[in-house]
Structure 1
Amino acid sequence: MTLTQRQPSTLPHMSMAIEIQGLEKSYGELHVLRGVDLAVARGSIYALLGSNGAGKTTVVRILSTLLKADAGSARVNGFDVATRAADVRRSISLTGQFAAVDEILTGRENLVLVARLRHLKDSGTIAGELLARFGLTEAGGRRVATYSGGMRRRLDIAMSLIGSPPVVFLDEPTTGLDPEARIEVWQAVRRLAEGGTTVLLTTQYLDEAEQLADRIAILHEGRIIVDGTLAELRQLLPPAKVEYVEKQPTLEDVFLAVVSGKGSDA
């Protein structure tokens, strides 16, 4: 089945935290972005899906002012990324594919350090509130070198929220994490949106987008080819046939049941 090019969003302009029109980027003869259009509503989770090399990280780098587009326009929190870069940077936080935490410091010290670098008052209180918010209070006094992958990622996201940025970019946040750690990160992302933060999430994991996103876009060969809610995307395929199927637990179901102690004692 051939999917058609998405139509521009009809949502009101002021309700958008991120707006992109006709974004293009090339590296020599390699055309990475070929006219990307998308709009992300405030307080929502928007998942940008695509295989490796599809251009997801390039989009995020342009939106976060780390890279200049060759053509097109982009606005974040109402600011043009090309002409109001400083305002954009004050409005966002970017969490890359690998946790940017200092392993020598404790979790609390990492948070206090970032708060002080942002010239915020009462950095200790800020650190304590974020440790509690992300379920890291007990681990706050331990060196980050002792943290699991999921704990480091949660700390990384917590650090990105210092200063209360209205827009957060999460670039493949669960790459390399085990099933338990992925679920921990998913819970942290849900809490972000519940608190009113806009989240642009790039991922190549389909189940991640299905679990988290209010809207999902697929980036393929430099263009957004579909964009909609999960229900809308499902309508692109023929209606499902109702059949009786005995569902067997997946390996992930088995893994989570066993490690949580809920599996059979046999």
Structure 2
Amino acid sequence: MKTFPLGKRNVHRVGFGAMQLPGRGAFGPPRDRAEALAVVRRAVDLGVDHIDTAQYYGPDVANEILRSALYPYPEQLAFVSKVGAKRDEKGGWLPAQRPEELRAGVQENLQALGLDKLHAVNLRLHAKDAPSVLDEQLDAMIDLRDAGLIDGIGMSNVDVEQLRQAVDKTEIVCVQNPFNLVDRASQPVLELCRERGIAFVPFFPLGAAFGRARVLGHPKVKAVAERLDATPAQVALAWVLAIADNTLLIPGTASLEHLEENMAAGHLKLDEQAMSELGTAGTP
């Protein structure tokens, strides 16, 4: 499996996202704890060396499962987390954007995972604040890096203007934005990342909870999948890898069957005909 730099380390281009390890909506205990543990272990067995997580997945569930499944961790394993959000008692998503909340979020991730340092941490933005607010947030992230608690700073849910502000201030090692075959609104961000050698890590590569049918049920995706003897999910994931050499995948699942399917997408080669057909899948 090919690799791409994620900060100081080259990682395989298909990683694993821990968001689906907790219950529905990334909230509460897992549907099947034994299978969740087995999925994490199998992912590493299949070559995953990049795991994306967050303390607010659960909350406090995903990281506990990762630690229970993998600790002591393989030396090559890179943990990437994110800060900037929290959950309410009903599972609602709330912003946690103040510098002190960002620092606390990193410390909570480290404690839960049993780590001294995270490979990277994404600053997840929730609103289009004034540039001075982002500057203050970046200062907090830089302080955490300088203190040796994180190796690299990432960004999530950002536009081109915000990313340019960030890279003008400090090194950014990765960006997480929504992106898939039918939702390409983040294409300009992807292109800027490619220009700067920054890893672009799309979330919802198969569509969000209410948009998966638009991707997996798209006639062009289904037609390519049938011709290449693959599944629609494998085609959609392989397209993300093929569209640019700086894309990294973190498909998440709590199912062993889906894990095997997702990982196989890293070995699926889309021919010129497939790329041409899929190239217009995002147009009305």
**Shorter-chain TM band:** 0.3 to 0.5
TM normalised by structure 1 equals: 0.42
Structure number with higher strand proportion: 1
Structure number with higher helix proportion: 2
